[in-house]
Amino acid sequence: MKYFEENNIVHLTEQDSFDIEQTLECGQCFRFEKKDEKEYRIIAKGKVLNLKQTDDETILFPCTAEDFENIWFDYFDLGRNYEHVKTILSEDPELKKAIAFGSGIRILNQDPFECLVSFIISQNNRIPMIKKVIKNISERWGKEVGGEYLFPDICSLENSDGASLMECKTGFRHKYITDCLEKLKRGDIKLEELKQKDTETAKRELMSIKGVGTKVADCVLLFSYGRSEVFPTDVWIKRVMEHIYFGDSDRTIGEIHSFAKEKWGKYAGFAQQYLFYYARTLKISKK
C-alpha cells in the first residue's frame, strides 16, 4: 500500500482491492454521503473525511500522514491482503461471480458503540431511513465538527430518553437503545473489553441487550471487532443463498447460517459481504 502526503491531502497510489463506492455502499456503514461519482464524504473516528477515487489513486482530505497511519489505514482495513481472501473464496465458482462484482469491497473497522446502535436501528428498516435516523441522533447529541455532526459518545447519548429518541424517528426501537445505554452505563457490558474476549462470549454479551439478536450481534462483531468468522444472515442473504446453493427452495435462517459457517470458516464474513452487495445491486428476485 503506497501513499504520500502533501498539503494535508493523502494520496493512495496503490489501491488493489479498494473501491470506495463498493466499500461504502455495501451496507456496512451509514455515515457517508455521495458527493459525486467516486467522490464521498464520511463521518467517522471523530472526523470528517473526504475521499475521491480515480483510476490512478485515491485522495483523502483533510488528512495528515499521521491520521492516515493511525486511523484510516486500520479503518479501511488496508493492512489486509484481500487478494488472498478472494483467491480462497473464489474456489467456489458461484461465489467467484459475486467477488468479481464487488472486488473492491473492504470490511471496515468501525467504532463499536456507533456500530451497535446503528444496527439496532437497522432492524426491519431500510438503508435510507437508517441513515436518516442516525443523522437525527448525531445532530441532536453529537459534537459538531466542520459543519457535520459526529455520532455521540455513550455519555452524550445518556441524555436521551424514549420520547427524544422517538423524535429522531427510531420508532419501536427506542426502548432497545435505552436498554443498550443502560447496560453500558451500569457496566454490564464493556465494549472495550469485548475486544479481548472470544467471539462466542462477545456475541452472548451483545445479545443480552434487548433488540440485539443473532443478526445484529454478528454485524457488530464483523464491522467493528474484525471477527471475520461470523456470517450475518438476513433476508437478502437468505434469498441469495437459497438461489445459489439450494435451487431456490426454502431454508431457515439457521440452516443458511450453519451451512455458510461450515463452508467458509474464518472467511465467512467476507463471503457474506460479497454476496450481500451482489444480491442487493442485482436485486435478486424475491420469488
Partner DNA sequence: AACCAGGGGCCGG
Partner DNA sequence: CCGGCCCATGGT
CB half-sphere exposure, 7, CA atoms < 13 A: 1
Select 10 or 228, whichever has its Cβ closest to DNA: 228
Length of the chain: 287
Closest Cα partner for 257 from 269, 243, 244?
Answer: 269
- Candidates 6, 66, 186, 286; binder of DNA (CB under 7 A) is 286
Measure the CA–CA gap between 151 and 32, rounded to whole angstroms.
12
C-alpha cell at 3: 501513499
Q: Is residue 125 at the binding interface for DNA, with CB under 7 A as the rule?
A: yes
Is residue 106 part of the contact set for DNA (CB under 7 A)? no
223 in Cβ contact with 108 (< 8 Å):
yes
Of 202-261, binders to DNA (CB under 7 A) are 207, 210-217, 219, 232, 234-237
Residues with Cβ within 8 Å of 122's Cβ and at least 6 positions away in sequence, in order, are 130, 216, 219
CB of 70 to DNA, least distance (A): 26
Q: Provide, rounded to whole angstroms, the least separation between the CB of residue 26 and DNA.
A: 6
Taking CB under 7 A as the binding criterion, the range among 41-49, 72-80, 121-129, 144-152 that sits at the site for DNA is 121-129
Size of the site for DNA (CB under 7 A): 34
The candidate with the shortest Cα–Cα distance to 20, out of 10, 6, 34, 2, is: 34
The one segment of 40-48, 76-84, 149-157, 268-276 that binds DNA by CB under 7 A: 268-276
What is the contact surface with DNA in residues (CB under 7 A)?
Answer: 26-28, 122-129, 166, 169, 171-172, 207, 210-217, 219, 232, 234-237, 272-273, 276, 286
